[in-house]
Amino acid sequence: MFGFIFRRLLWMIPSFFAVTVVAFVIIQLPPGDFVTSYAADLATSGSPADSATLDALRVRYGLDQPMVVQYLTWVGNAFRGDLGMSFEYRSPVASIIWDRLGMTTLVAFCTLAFVWLVAFPVGIFSAVKQYSIGDYAVTFLSFLGMATPSFLLALVVMYLSVEFLGYSVGGLFSPEQVNAPWSWAKVIDLLGHLWIPVVVLGVAGIAALVRIMRANLLDELGKPYVETGRAKGLPEATLILRYPTRVALNPFISTVGWVLPVLVSGDVIVSSVLSLPTSGPILIQALKTQDMYLGGALIMFQCVLVLIGTLLSDILLAFVDPRIRYDN
Amino acid sequence: MMFDAAMKNPASDIVVDVKDLSTWFDTGKQVIKAVEGMNLTLRRGRTHCIVGESGSGKSITARSILNIVPKPGRIIKGQVLLHGAGGTGGIVDLASLHPKGRQIRSIRGRDISMIFQEPMSSLSPVHTIGQQIIETIRLHRRVGKQEARERAIEVLAQVRIPRPERSIDSYPFEFSGGMRQRAMTAMALVCEPKLVIADEPTTALDVTTQAEILDLMKSLQQRHGMALMFITHDMGVVAEIADDVTVMYMGEVVEHGPVKDIFFAPKHPYTQRLLASVRALEKRSHRAGSAAKLRSDDAILEVSSLSMSFSARRSLFSRKPKEPPVKALDDVSFTLKRGEVLGIVGESGSGKTTLGRCILRILDPSSGSIRFTGRDGAVADLAALPRRAVKPYWGRMRMIFQDPFSSLNPRMTVFQVIAEPLLNHGMRDRRALETEVVSLLERVGLTRDAMWRYPHAFSGGQRQRIGIARTIALKPELIVADEATSALDVSLRAHMLDLLLGLCREFEMSFIFISHDIGVIRYMCDRVAVMHRGRIVEIGDADAICDAPSHPYTRSLISAIPKPDPNLRGKSQRIRYVSEVDG
């Protein structure tokens, strides 16, 4: 088991490098660079910069180097904890994103927990009561949930909570707490606000997972070992939870790998709408202005989350399913 | 015999009495009467076999007794009377209880338990054997975990699972099929039930394993004196173990009585037909008798020193030493003459299927040669040819598959299925194709209008005929038939084999006929090769091998086959073969 985890950790290293290359290439894909968009900004504000100044800027930021050199510098610096300077904010990337990454992680994991807690029992219900009115209702709501864009849902929830709950729903804190130091009051305030993004982000995930759980369980419910359990005299509820659900859980667990990144990327637009202090809004901004170090760091972070999610689901799966061999 | 005394006082001996039981499946569109007006009396210490072909309602009867009929089935009328439920001596009508209620649950597993057909899928893959047995104990008895565990080990020892105190913590996938079925039996016996229902418990097992499980069940029944209801379609097994027999057909009982009455004085025409089709497989086909004299020099296939191994996979970071490759074929040599039918027999895992696939070069052998001599006299070593060069030979060597359900594409019409090999080998004209397909269909006994229907519209036997039509479409010289009749009901097998033999003579085809069923081999084949662990241990004339086998493994294999004659029960000595490899 430990050997297995160790090997999986080793595999993460090449995966991580592959991911940084992809992140870097994505950042470089749009034509031009930060200087071009900076020049365009200057031009629209009526004071165009001459090309000598722009070239000097390029040299200063290392943008005149070939792409491979730029990549190696970037990765090399990143390993020393230096994620580069943001062109836009003119301050180190690390200091900009640190708080926001924490918030993103918090929101993502809360949402994941929420998604599982809801999807699991609802999925079981939907499968066991297949073709009942309850199942049809769940199915209808699931498709509705999958089809509704989360930013639209965010707007609806914002409207409803302002209208009926009298909340300030923008952000994760009330205005008076935003800049306050951490305290119990701030944590409670956070929890009061956190549920909105968690629900908004969770709905699509819940809908998808309910369908997955239902399909998995329906596959298992007809298996002979369920009949064996019934012939033993097991009560129906115990039977379903202990046997088919246990087996159907395995594909469910492997969804962590992709649910986590979906949540984080879904967060980009939703957090702009809800103006959350997460990494989403600044990622959009960084991509628009081609602020390559800031954008690259954020994309890299998302990729790392994917890697962690996959690792988590692999380890959980190996833990839960005795049929998985660790050594092969 | 032992229970003659009990026979004289039948009423006190009844464990379960089924009266006028009907179980229907209402699918909304139609009502299927799976069981209709069933009567059955199961007595202590006796084995009652339920016989019938697939779909005759045997399994639904078993499930009706336990009241676990799958949806949308429902017990419509009738009674299932359990005598002495919970040791009180009272009579309970199980059919009238709520199927999810507490009372019926306390009876399942304690008074009546069940052994299922598929030992692989009938045990949970993610729980240990022990967890599953201990659960049964603790459901019905107030005992502590440790005590339950000791009881489970005791029962595992009773079903002769080696090292029970360690095996109890194994998962089902770590067991072989026979061992799983033993574990399943242990689970059924653990609460000392009055009635054990076994639903085709040996159908998925090899003959040698089947013989061991049957021995085990007999000895356990003598020890505990429970009633055994044994569902099977194999008349050999019935002759081996039954005291009483009930024959079912289309959901109804057509005949019942003591085993000797059923075998020697069957009254109902269906029982007579069933027995006739079983006995037909006891001797050689009348068609096989007319075999043309084979010219000894005219060999179509010469296989020499053929070996094939599956190498174990190894991952990049694994530190374990590489496992040795599994030898599926080990130095196999034989010659097949033109027009000959060669049987290959052996247990699962003996390399029969691998051999068939290597000959067709679906798998690549690791060494040896396969010399194929065509009608035109050209000789080629198939083992040495590169993949691309094998393709033209696939028109001359073809395969018949085991499963008539999954070997036909459900989205192709029968015309498309049969015409596909013709198209692949260059026949393009639509009208010519249609004529050809019609004549092929008629040759295998199907009508012309079958052409435009999809496979799901046909029964298993008809589908296998479609598969055969596809196989002979290119007039091949060699056919490899891999368990071609195993998925068919006994009553259809002899017909199918006669059809194949007729085709073999008509088109001068040679056959390699792979089967685990000696009866089928004897009926069909001129010569037999017996395989064991990738080697051919014996090869010779079919009659000689079946009647006077010389290799000890062949002898054990033949002695394990249940003979469909209750008079022979206990007469023939079972021979066990211990391989030299095992020591």
Give me the phi and psi of B357, to 5 degrees please. -70, -30
State which residues of chain A have pLDDT below 50: 328
Question: What span, in angstroms and rounded, lies between the C-alpha atoms of A123 and A272?
Answer: 31
Interface contact A231-B126, CB threshold 8 A: no
pLDDT score of A286: 83
- Size of chain B in residues: 583
CA distance A145 to A119: 12
Count CB atoms within 10 A of the CB of residue A113.
Answer: 12
Instruction: Please name the residue of chain B whose CA is at the shortest distance from the CA of residue A3.
Output: B318
Please tell me the number of Cα atoms within 13 Å of B70 on its side-chain side: 12
| Local structure of residue B525 (DSSP, 8 states) | -
Q: Tokens 């062949």 label which residue?
A: B554
Question: Residue B317: its pLDDT value, please?
Answer: 47
Report the DSSP beta bridge partners of residue A274. none
Q: What is the pLDDT of residue B43?
A: 92
CB of B493 closer than 8 Å to CB of B524: no
Nearest residue of B to residue A233 by CA position?
B105
Whether A199 contacts chain B with CB within 8 A: no
The Cα B167–Cα B403 span in angstroms is 34
Mean pLDDT score, B401-428: 87
Q: Is pLDDT above 60 for B5?
A: no
- Spatial contact of A286 and A298, defined as CB atoms under 8 Å apart: yes
Distance CA B410, CA B104 (A): 41
Cα B11 to Cα B91: distance, rounded to the nearest angstrom = 12
What pLDDT is attached to residue B10? 55
Distance of alpha carbon B106 from alpha carbon B101, whole angstroms: 9
Which residues in chain A are classed under CATH 1.10.3720.10? 99-320
Sort out which chain B residues have CB atoms less than 8 A from A223's CB and list them.
121
Over range B272-295, report the average pLDDT. 71
3-state secondary structure of B16: strand
Question: Above 50 in pLDDT, residue B123?
Answer: yes
Tell me which of 3.30.505.10, 3.90.920.10, 3.40.50.300, 1.10.565.10 is the CATH number of domain B4-111+194-280: 3.40.50.300
Quick: pLDDT tens for B155-204: 999 888 888 988 899 888 888 888 888 899 999 989 889 999 999 888 87
Per-residue tokens: A191: 């929890």
Q: Residue B483, Cβ neighbours under 10 Å: how many?
A: 19
Tokens standing for B525?
Answer: 């084949």
Q: How far is A193 from chain B (nearest CA, A)?
A: 41
Q: What percent of chain B has pLDDT over 70?
A: 91
Q: What is the pLDDT of residue B177?
A: 80
Banded pLDDT at B7 (limits 50, 70, 90): very low
Q: Which of A7, A232, A245 to mutate to test the interface with B (most CBs of B within 10 A)?
A: A232
CB burial class (10 A; 0-12, 13-18, 19+) of residue A91? Answer: exposed
pLDDT confidence bin for B1, thresholds 50/70/90: very low
CA B564 to chain centroid: 16
Token pair, residue B30, equals: 């139609």
Per CB-CB distance under 8 Å, the chain B contacts of A320 are 126
- Mean pLDDT, residues B454-468: 86
Q: Is the pLDDT of residue B40 over 80?
A: yes
- The beta-carbon neighbor of A328 closest among B116, B135, B315 is B315
Buried b (16+ CB within 10 A) or exposed e, B3-25: eeeeeeeeeebbbbbbbebbbbb
CA-nearest residue to A327 within chain B is B318
pLDDT attached to residue A317? 84
Do the chains contact at A3 and B319, CB–CB below 8 Å?
A: yes
Alpha carbon A231 to its chain's center: 44
Question: How large is the average pLDDT for residues B103-109?
Answer: 90
- Is residue B352 classed as helix, strand or coil in its secondary structure? helix
Nearest CA-CA partner of A273 in A184, A163, A149:
A149
Tell which of A6, A10, A221, A230 to mutate to test the B interface (max B CBs under 10 Å).
Answer: A230
Cβ atoms of residues B177 and B205 within 8 Å: yes
pLDDT at residue B147, rounded to an integer: 93
Q: Which stretches of B84-185 are assigned E, i.e. beta strand? A: 91-93, 112-115
B66 vs chain A: nearest CA distance in angstroms? 7
pLDDT band at B130 (very low <50, low <70, confident <90, very high): very high
CB A291, CB A83: distance < 8 Å: no
Taking the CA of residue A290 and the nearest CA in chain B, the distance in Å comes to 40
- Mean pLDDT (chain B, rounded): 85
What would the mean pLDDT of B67-71 be, rounded to a whole number? 87
- pLDDT 10s digits, B231-270: 988 888 899 899 999 999 988 999 999 999 999 999 999 9
Collapsed DSSP state (helix, strand, coil) of residue A38: helix
Q: Which of B66, B124, B320 sits opposite A231 (nearest CB)?
A: B66
- The answer to whether the CB atoms of A246 and B126 lie below 8 A apart is yes
**Binary contact (A231, B315; C-beta < 8 A):** no
Alpha-carbon separation of residue B455 from A275, B8, B408, B452, B462 (angstroms): 59, 54, 7, 10, 9
Q: Where are the domains of chain B?
A: 4-111+194-280, 122-192, 409-473
CB spacing of B124 vs A225 below 8 angstroms: yes
pLDDT for B289 beyond 60: no
- Domain A99-320 belongs to what topology? MetI-like fold (1.10.3720)
pLDDT value at B32 more than 80 = yes
Q: What is the mean pLDDT of chain A?
A: 82
The CA distance from B234 to A64, in Å, is 83
Other CB atoms within 10 A of residue B498 CB: 17
CA distance B542 to B518: 10
Å from A11 to nearest chain B CA? 9
In chain B, which residues touch A (CB < 8 A)? 63, 66, 68, 70, 100, 105-110, 113-114, 116-118, 121-128, 135-136, 139-140, 171, 173, 184, 187, 313-315, 317-320
Is the CB of A228 inside 8 Å of chain B's CB atoms?
A: yes
d(CA B421, CA B426): 9
Distance from C-alpha of B501 to C-alpha of A43, rounded to nearest angstrom: 90
- Which residues have a Cβ under 8 Å from the Cβ of B440 and sit 6 or more positions away? B418, B469, B472, B473
For residue B487, give how far its alpha carbon lies from the nearest alpha carbon of chain A (Å). Answer: 20
A231–B118 CB contact, under 8 Å: no
Higher pLDDT among residues B6 and A259, named by residue = A259
- Across the interface, of B108, B117, B318, the residue whose CB is closest to A232 is B108
Contact B169, B219 (CB under 8 A): no
Q: What is the pLDDT of residues A234-254, one digit of tens each?
A: 998 999 999 999 888 887 887
Q: Which residues pair with B301 in a beta bridge?
A: B336, B372
State how far the Cα of B196 lies from the Cα of B216, in Å rounded to an integer.
14
Tell if the CB–CB gap between B110 and A233 is shorter than 8 Å. Answer: yes
C-alpha–C-alpha distance, residues A138 and A125, integer Å: 9
Choose the closest CB to B121 out of A11, A225, A328.
A225
Could B136 and A232 be called an inter-chain contact, meaning their C-beta atoms sit closer than 8 Å?
yes
Higher-scoring residue by pLDDT: A127, B84:
A127
Out of A223, A232, A320, the one facing B139 most closely (by C-beta) is A232
Tell me: the pLDDT tens digits for B341-368?
Answer: 999 998 877 888 889 999 988 888 888 9
Which pLDDT band, with edges at 50, 70 and 90, does B578 fall under?
Answer: low
Closest-CA residue of A relative to B323 is A328
Whether A227 and chain B come into contact, CB under 8 Å, resolves to yes
CB contact under 8 A, B118 and A229: no
* C-alpha–C-alpha distance, residues B48 and B416, integer Å: 47
Q: Please answer yes or no on whether B100 and A236 come within 8 Å at the CB atom.
A: yes
How many whole angstroms separate alpha carbon B190 and alpha carbon B132? 11
Cα dihedral across residues B463, B467, B473, B476: positive or negative: negative
A-B C-beta contacts closer than 8 Å: 87
Q: A322 at the B interface (CB within 8 A)? A: yes
Q: Which residues in chain A are contacts of B319 at CB distance < 8 A? A: 3
pLDDT at B410: 85
Cβ atoms within 10 Å of B362's Cβ, excluding its own: 13
User: Are the CB atoms for B458 and B450 separated by under 8 Å?
Assistant: yes
Percent of chain B whose pLDDT exceeds 90: 31
Mark yes or no for CB contact A224/B118 under 8 Å.
yes
Question: Contacts of residue A236 in chain B, CB cutoff 8 Å?
Answer: 100
- In this prediction, residues B103-129 reach a mean pLDDT of 88
Q: Mutation target for A interface from B94, B100, B122, B123: give the one with most A CBs within 10 A.
A: B122
